[in-house]
Structure 1
Amino acid sequence: MKDARFKIANREALIGVVLVIINFAIWFGFAYGLGSGDPTQYDMIFGFPAWFFYSCIAGTIFMIILIWIAIKVFFKDVPFDDKEEEV
C-alpha cells in the first residue's frame, strides 16, 4: 500500500511549481513589457520606474498574499511518523 503522504507531497510540490511560474510571468511581463521603452519616458511610481514597481515591489506583495492563500487553502499538516495513519 502506498503512503498517502507522497500523494499530498506531490500535489503540494505541483502547487509550488505553479506559484513559481505565476511569479515569473508577473515579473517578466511587467519588467520587459513596461521596461522596454526609452528610459527617459518611464512613468514613475514612488520614485521607482513603473516596470520596477510592478514587477518587483507590487509583484512580491501579490505573491506573498497568493502563497499565504495557497497554504491556507491547499496545504495540510502531514505527520512525519513512520506509522501509516489516516491522512
Structure 2
Amino acid sequence: EIVPREELNRTVVIAFSWLGVIAVGALVTGAFTSLPAFSVISGMVSAVGNMGPSFIPRQGFTGISPVIKVFYILGMVAGRLEILPILLIFSRRVWR
C-alpha cells in the first residue's frame, strides 16, 4: 500500500520538530556546561523522549545550573505534550 503524500509530510514534520527541539536543547546545554557532547545529547533525548537512559554522570546533575535544568524541564514538557502543539504557540497564524 502506498502511503499518501500528506501523511508522509506530517510524519517528516513531526520527526524534524522532535530533532530540532533536541538539537536546540543540546546546543544550549553544551554551551553552558562542561559535559561531553554524548552526555549532552543523550540527556536531551532522554528528557524529550521521557525515557532513559541518560549518560550524564550522577554528579553531573548537581553541577548543572538552574537555567539548564529549566531547558531539560521544557524538553520534558514538549515531549510529554507532543512537540507540535508547543511549537504552535510560537506561530503567528495561531494568534491572528
TM-score tier (shorter): 0.3 to 0.5
Higher helix share: 2
TM-score after normalising by structure 1: 0.48
Q: Which one has more relative contact order, counting CA pairs under 8 Å at least 6 apart?
A: 1
Structure label with greater radius of gyration: 1
